[in-house]
């Protein structure tokens, strides 16, 4: 895959990531909401997503430096994930997490303000 195509694909995925996160930020600015319980409720899932993303960053660094991480960690050489796939998994999980968070905020507003 050429560098320009890879860069275009990354921009599209980043745009999806931003569009999933942006509505949650907008809804929080309208009312003064105590966001600490929501932070406590979703921080475990966010840490899993962050861990998978950082694992993808590490895999990219190892691969670009020439470290044979497949041999070091004794992974199956035929069936292991590349750094792009780790980042895609974290992106999908982040979109799901953002959607659930956004829906919980909407439910909160509907339940307490109407």
Domain extent at residue 49: 3-113
Q: What is the dihedral of CA 93, 96, 102, 104, to 10 degrees?
A: -100
- Predicted structure pTM score: 0.62
Q: How far is CA 85 from the centre of its chain?
A: 12
What are the tens digits of pLDDT across the range 76-99? 888 888 888 888 899 899 888 888
CA 78 vs CA 30, 55, 68: distances in Å = 51, 19, 14
Number of domains in the chain: 1
Structure tokens at 20: 């999933």
Q: How many CA atoms lie within 13 A of 42 on its CB side?
A: 19
**Gap between the Cα atoms of 50 and 53, Å rounded:** 5
pLDDT over 60 (residue 1): no
């Amino acid at each position: 895959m050429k560098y320009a195509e890879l860069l275009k694909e990354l921009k599209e995925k980043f745009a999806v990531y931003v569009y999933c996160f942006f509505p949650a930020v907008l809804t929080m600015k309208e009312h003064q909401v105590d966001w600490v319980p929501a932070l406590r409720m979703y921080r475990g899932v966010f840490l899993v997503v962050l861990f998978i993303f950082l694992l993808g960053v590490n895999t990219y660094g190892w691969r670009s430096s020439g470290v044979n991480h497949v041999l070091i960690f004794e992974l199956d050489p035929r069936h292991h994930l590349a750094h792009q796939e780790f980042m895609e998994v974290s992106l999908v999980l982040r979109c799901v997490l953002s959607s659930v968070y956004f829906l919980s905020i909407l439910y909160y507003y509907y339940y307490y303000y109407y």
